[in-house]
């Protein structure tokens, strides 16, 4: 419970020798939990009082750790609401922490990213953001921007005095800031990919072995396998983790001349999955001549060629594709080498060769980083050619973008949208 009346509302539910209002802050004590009307004990729990401003929300907080019976917890919740509390809205504790200055908005959004993290690596990146991995450098950039803007303002106010910001030093400063913003943007995009995961589509002609390969990769029979061409009519999904990145695998219908409308729809969905995927696994039956149409259609895309069914006699033309990974989903031959190759591809896409300097960011933050970089680039390009007033417009735009990353001048509507993705309470 968080708020100025938290202690007063919880106190009638507790059986304890020391009144709740006298509990030392940030100390855990054993208490009895009682029916506030009958005083009948219903549980033994642990209770902590965290007094403002040294709490998560910056308000008085009471934390009660009860046994995990859903019926018991519903009963205690009912008594608290009857006593004057209400159930918190999604993200309300973190929203109060932001409004009370305990977290900036970048850190608050990192809480949601932490909650939704699906791998150890995305947890680590979210923890870095929560600790200020994005906030601190943005705050430093703000301070440097303010110095440059203030210097230019003095130059405009006293043009004859030769005071204010030196143009050449300003150009160097803006170049450094732009490069820094570009580095953050790349790191944020990679971090976002680590957090949100990659989509990999298995594509190829019918009966090439795509479904068997998907089952081998995910470790279970996710897709139906049959010698009958066109067995896969719709997209079949599975998920694995490679290099700490969630990878969504899509088994698609074989790309071939459709025999009926259902198969034609499956092929249309396959092509749509290809367009929406980060990487294509082009599966070719190594025992027959490679389908040149599939090779041509996937050319120029980020792809890995796979010579499936390598346990069978290889066709001469298929063996002539040296970059194709030989794999047999039936015997397991080549699977370990192929998984290592696929892991390296994921590392390239997600910048996963090292986490140094990487951050995970929300889509909102990435959009603001793009705006920040663009404004700094425009100011740098305009310096010396454009009027100083125009350069100041771009620099102030960059300053606004940096401020919005941290939560300055953010409307309630934007806050509502940000915190709507949180789980209840937190």
Residue keyed to tokens 């921007």: 145
Q: What is the mean pLDDT of the chain?
A: 87
- Beta-strand runs (E) in 77-163: none
- Domain 204-350 matching CATH 3.40.50.300: the answer reads yes
pLDDT tens-digit series, residues 23-63: 999 999 999 999 999 999 999 999 999 999 999 999 999 99
Q: Is the pLDDT of residue 400 over 50?
A: yes
Please write the tens of the pLDDT for every residue from 374-386: 999 999 998 878 8
Q: Is the pLDDT of residue 82 over 90?
A: yes
C-alpha to C-alpha distance for 141 and 294, rounded to whole angstroms? 49
The C-alpha angle 357, 374, 111, rounded to 5 degrees, equals 45
pLDDT average, residue stretch 206-235 = 69
- Residue 424, both tokens: 């209840």
Give Cβ neighbours of residue 212 (< 8 Å, ≥ 6 apart). Answer: 223, 225, 308, 329, 330
Residue 118 has pLDDT above 80, yes or no: yes
* Mean pLDDT of the 92-98 span: 95
- Length reported for the chain: 426
pLDDT of residue 412: 87
3-state helix, strand, coil in the chain (%, to 5): 50, 15, 35
Tokens of 275: 């367009």
Q: How far is CA 10 from the centre of its chain?
A: 36
pLDDT digits (tens, 9 = 90+) for 267-284: 788 888 888 899 999 999
More confident residue, 341 or 411: 341
DSSP H helix total and E strand total for the chain: 15, 10
Extents of the domains making up the chain: 6-87, 135-194+362-419, 204-350
Question: The tokens of 392 are what?
Answer: 């100041």
Alpha-carbon gap, residue 110 to 115, rounded angstroms = 9
Assess whether pLDDT exceeds 50 at residue 224. Answer: no
Write down the architecture of domain 135-194+362-419 according to CATH. Up-down Bundle (1.20)
Q: Which CATH fold topology does 6-87 show? A: Gyrase A; domain 2 (3.30.1360)
Pairwise CA distance, residues 251 & 306, whole Å: 14
Helix (H, G, I), strand (E, B) or coil at 402: helix
- As a whole number of angstroms, the distance between CA 99 and CA 92 comes to 10
Q: Which two tokens stand for residue 56?
A: 């998560």
Range scoring the smallest mean pLDDT among 171-175, 238-242, 287-291, 404-408: 287-291
The answer to whether 267 touches 253, Cβ cutoff 8 Å, is yes
Q: Looking up tokens 């947890």, which residue turns up?
A: 123
Q: pLDDT category, 101, cuts 50, 70, 90? A: very high
**For residue 34, what are the β-bridge partners?**
41
Q: Is the pTM of this model over 0.85?
A: no
226 contacts 175 by C-beta, under 8 angstroms: no
pLDDT score, position 36: 93
Cis amide linkage into residue 53, ω under 30° from 0: yes
- Residue 36: CB atoms within 10 Å: 16
DSSP 66-85: ----HHHHHHHHHHHHHTT-
């Amino acid at each position: 419970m968080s708020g100025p009346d938290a202690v007063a509302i919880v106190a009638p539910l507790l059986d304890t020798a020391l009144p709740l209002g006298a509990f030392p802050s940030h100390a855990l004590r054993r208490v009895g939990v009682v029916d506030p009307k009958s005083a009948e004990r219903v549980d033994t729990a642990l209770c902590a009082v965290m007094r403002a401003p040294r709490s998560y929300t910056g308000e008085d907080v009471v934390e009660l750790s009860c046994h995990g019976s859903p019926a018991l917890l519903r009963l205690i919740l009912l008594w608290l609401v009857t006593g004057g509390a209400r159930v918190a809205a999604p993200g309300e504790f973190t929203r109060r922490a932001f409004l009370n200055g305990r977290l900036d908005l970048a850190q608050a959004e990192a809480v949601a990213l932490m909650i939704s993290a699906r791998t150890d690596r995305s947890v680590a990146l979210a923890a870095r953001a929560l600790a200020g991995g994005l906030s601190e450098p943005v705050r430093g950039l703000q301070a440097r921007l303010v110095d440059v803007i203030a210097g230019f303002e003095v130059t405009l106010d006293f043009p004859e005095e030769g005071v204010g910001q030196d143009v050449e030093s300003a150009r160097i400063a803006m170049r450094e800031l732009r490069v820094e913003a570009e580095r953050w943007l790349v790191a944020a995009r990679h971090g976002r990919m680590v957090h949100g995961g990659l989509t990999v589509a298995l594509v190829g002609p019918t009966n090439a072995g795509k479904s068997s390969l998907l089952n081998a990769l995910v470790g279970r029979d996710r897709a139906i396998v049959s010698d009958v061409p066109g067995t896969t009519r719709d997209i079949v999904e599975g998920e694995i983790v490679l290099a700490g990145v969630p990878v969504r695998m899509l088994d698609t219908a074989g790309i071939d001349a459709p025999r009926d409308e259902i198969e034609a729809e499956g092929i249309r969905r396959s092509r749509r999955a290809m367009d929406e995927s980060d990487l294509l696994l082009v599966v070719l039956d190594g025992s027959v001549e490679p389908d040149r149409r599939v090779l041509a259609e996937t050319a120029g895309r980020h792809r890995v060629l796979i010579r499936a069914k390598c346990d069978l006699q290889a066709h001469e033309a298929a063996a002539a594709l040296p970059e194709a990974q030989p794999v047999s989903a039936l015997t397991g031959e080549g699977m370990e080498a192929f998984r290592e190759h696929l892991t390296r591809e994921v590392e390239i896409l997600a910048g996963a060769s090292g986490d140094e300097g990487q951050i995970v960011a929300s889509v909102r933050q990435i959009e603001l980083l793009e705006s920040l970089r663009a404004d700094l680039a425009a100011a740098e390009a305009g310096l010396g050619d454009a009027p100083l007033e125009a350069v100041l417009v771009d620099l102030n735009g960059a300053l606004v973008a940096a401020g919005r990353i941290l939560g300055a001048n953010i409307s309630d509507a934007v806050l509502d949208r940000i915190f709507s993705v949180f789980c209840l309470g937190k």
